[in-house]
Chain A
Amino acid sequence: MRLILEVWRQESPRVPGRLEAYEITDAREEMSLLELLDRLNHQLVEENQEPVAFESDCREGICGTCGIDVNGVPHGPENNVPACGQHVRSFADGDTVRIEPFRAAGFPIIRDLIVDRTGLDRIIQAGGTVAVDAGTATDADTLLVTHEQAEAALDFAACIGCGACVSACPNGAAYLFTGAKLQHLALMPHGKMERGKRARSMIAQMEHEFGPCSQIGECALACPAGVPLSAIATLNKERLRALLRRKDN
């Protein structure tokens, strides 16, 4: 089938970008959107033009490397699916598909569709960790964790760190990401030890680089890992808890 791709081209962070239109005449329904970009790049290279720079790695939905905005929606038209699992079959023959980088002030563009998402990593560095050194941990079987609690922790730990939540958010907020981490670690036996301290430091770092939450809910619709919106309430709960308890745990 035939598709018109309007792709964001930007040489570097310092120069302005623009949308450029390309035509793909042999797109196939079973192609993923990343494969569609592969196809486009193949075509560009044949014409001796610079291919579109975009990121991807595992291409099976778990590494969180890929990230593009498709017609203004992070990852693509299907909710809760990463770009590598979004397919051309979502579009009709002759459609125009606009492909842009993830959009947020916290994600500066490096080149074309590649953005800098290390801001999320700095939130982790600020406190999304557990202070247990190698070899010092106690026997995991002596720490009882209910089945339900382990499953709940996994619901939030499933975050693949792609940044779609930030890009989906009209406020450029990283609440879903940060809340998911806080909730995941708050449910873990060792993670509980630094619960208060973690909430203070991670949220402070988050506020440095990302926007405020207005409870819009776009993030949870975009999230490829299906992190529930309640992660946002968790973030506020953890922060208020830290305020009221005034303790590290």
Chain B
Amino acid sequence: MSSPTPAPPDRDPIPQAARPATTPPPWPQTWILKVIMAVTGSIFVAFLLFHLAGNLKVFLGAEDFNHYAEWLRTLLNPLIPGSGFLWAFRGVMVASLVLHVYSGTTIWLRARRARGVHARKFLLRRIGSRTMFWTGLIILCFIVFHILDLTMGKVVAAPGFDPGDPYSNLIHSFSRPPVAIFYGLTMALIAVHISHGIWSVVNDLGGTGKRLRNVVFAVAGLIALVVVCGNLAIPVAVQAGILTVG
């Protein structure tokens, strides 16, 4: 209803409080990045549970485990021929990973800028939230290692890698104590990362209900616990000699 009437400079020598910016903020806005992280993170959590269920078939023996691996490769045949589905799935995973890492890094950089030169005191409250970037970085390294080790069989794989026998590949890999330890530690970090991640999802997607928030908070911890315990069971069993080749 009123047009801005900037006073001429000679009439207004007294500084005015600054007004809101007229340009849009840096793109993409943080809330968009957070939504991307929430969606891609949720995909990863779903994948982790799915992956865990598959992994635990190792306890049923080589035949079941290898049969499951073959089933994965040929999923949705003949609708989608060959390993088409698997590659599509891998494509989604890679895209999610790229978006997740990009968003996370951008947020981390913006956070460092907004914090200013004086770092906050480390209050040991909600440790997961403060270490998301670093746990995420280690997990990223682990993913690379893990794919080289058990999917591609390159560089870090155990000797005698056989693409047709995932069961033996797994046992051979976990028979190496450093690999078993690295795997175990990473699982702990993943638990820390996803417990905070799942809790963040409910916030980033705008979950304000008291009950919803309490449930998600509890479920986040539970999922983290299941993932870490389930996955740890395998290297432990291998090292303890419970799982062996043949």
Contacts and interface: CB of A to CB of B under 8 A. Distances in A.
User: Is there a direct interface between A and B, measured as CB atoms under 8 Å apart in the complex?
Assistant: yes
Interface of A: 71-73, 100, 103-107, 118, 121-123, 125-126, 133, 168-173, 183, 201, 203-205, 207-208, 210-218, 221, 230, 232-241
B132 to A, nearest CB: 6
Given A103-B115, A171-B114, 11 more contacts: A71-B121, A126-B20, A212-B33, A212-B107, A215-B204, A218-B125, A218-B126, A233-B202, A233-B206, A236-B35, A241-B206
B123 interface: yes
* Residue from B29, B31, B129, B213 whose CB has the most chain A CB atoms within 10 Å: B31
B116 A172 contact: yes
B116 A103 contact: yes
A217 B126 contact: yes
Contact of B25 (A103, A208, A217, A232): A208
11 contacts: A72-B123, A103-B115, A122-B18, A207-B30, A211-B115, A212-B30, A216-B125, A230-B210, A233-B207, A234-B206, A236-B35
B19 interface: yes
B21 interface: yes
Contacts, number: 144
A236 B118 contact: no
A133 B129 CA distance: 44
A230 B208 contact: yes
A233 B205 CA distance: 7
B110 interface: yes
A170 B118 CA distance: 10
A170 B115 contact: yes
Interface of B: 1, 17-21, 24-26, 29-31, 33-35, 107, 110-111, 113-121, 123, 125-126, 129-130, 132, 196, 199-200, 202-208, 210, 213
Contacts of B203: 213, 215, 232-233, 236
Given A72-B120, A233-B206, A240 B35 contact: yes
Contacts of B29: 203-204, 207
A211 B213 CA distance: 24
Contact of B114 (A123, A212, A237): A212
Contacts of B129: 214-217
Nearest to A229: B203
A214 B107 contact: yes
Contacts of A233: 202-203, 206-208, 213
